[in-house]
Structure 1
C-alpha cells in the first residue's frame, strides 16, 4: 500500500503556514493602501470637537433652560428620542473612529454608519457596532474605507444623559507585534488573541515555547474567557 506523501500533521502545518502567508499578504496590502492615502493627505487623523459636529435628537443641556445636567460640565448632552444621531460631514480614508461619550444610563446599542461615494442614505449594510475600549470610549473599526460621511448613534433608548466631547478619526495606534494587531495576550502563554476577525472567525496566533514559534488558531470565545473569568488566567496547553 502506497504511503501518503504528507502525514495529517504535516498537512495541518502546511494549511496553517498558508493561512499565515495569506494573512500577512492581506495586511501588507492594507498597509500599502493606508500609507498611500496618508501620503496624499486624504487620511484625516484628528479630534473633532462636539461643537463641530451636527446632531439630531441629541442636544446639549444648555440648549434647554428646563433641563438639569448631572453636574456643571458644559459637555453634557441628552438624547431626546430613541434614535439620536451625530454626523461628521466630511470625506477621507477611515480605518477607525472613536466616540468619546460617557453615558449616565445604559445606552443600548452604539453604532456607526458610513457613506461611500455617490450615496446619500445610511443603511444597515454599512453599519459598524462599537467596541468599548475604555470607560466612555467607543471604538469603531471600519477596516479601511473611503467615506463621504459618518453617522454615529450614541444610544438607542432615548433620555440618556451623555458627557460628549467629540470624536477621533484614525487615532494613532500603539506599536504592537505585526501579527498581533490588537496587542492582547491570552492566558499569559504568549498567545496573540486577534487577527482582525470577528467573533465568528478564528484568530491567527503565535505561541512562543522554549525558544520556538508554533502556529495555530484560537477558537471563538477564548479571548472572552481569558478576559472575563478566572479560567482565563490559566496557561493554555502547549503540547
Structure 2
C-alpha cells in the first residue's frame, strides 16, 4: 500500500506523479507487491462546521481519485482504495471504486465524533463512582488517567457539565437538585475513544446489565501482562 496525503499533512506522497513513481518502484522490488493506495481524511474532523468539512472532503477525494486514475492509466491496477474517515464517511462512501472506508471510531463512538456524525449509537462507556459532593459539584473517581478528551465527557442520564478533570478525579458541575450521592455508580461516555481504549487491558462486554464476555485489547502496546489470564465469565 502506498499512502497519499489527502490533506492531513502527516504522511504520504504529495502528488500523483510521486505515487506513480513509488508504485513502480514497489513493483520492481523483489518480495513486494503493490496492492493499492490509502489516504486518511482525519483533517476533516478538526471542524464541526458541516459545510467546511464537506468541502475539505471533496478536495481530499478529488486528489485521491485522481491518483488512482493515474495509476490505472499507466497500467498499474489499484485493487485496494482505502480512504475517508469517521467524520466524512457518508460522503466518501458515495465514490465509486473505493474498497474501504476508514471510519474506525464508529464501532464504539465517542462524544467528540458524535457531534459530527450522530448516526451511530455509543457503545463505549466507563464505569465510575461518586466519591465526593462539594458545593455545586459532583466528583467521580475517573480522571485524566481513565478517559481521553475530558472536556467532552458526559454522565449517562444526568445533565452534569464538566467543571475540571484531574489525574484521578472527574469534577462535574451539579445542577440544583442533582440526585447523585457519594457511592452512586455512574456511566461515563468518553470524549475520545481511540486514546481511551488504549488505557485499558480489555473490554467488558455487557448485555442486559450482565457481563457476558471479556475481549482483551491486544494492540495497545508491549509490557502489559496477564492478558492470557483474562477469561469470559461463565454463562
> Normalising to structure 1: TM-score of the pair?
0.23
Query: Larger relative contact order (C-alpha < 8 A, sep ≥ 6)?
Result: 1
Greater strand proportion: 1
Greater helix proportion: 2
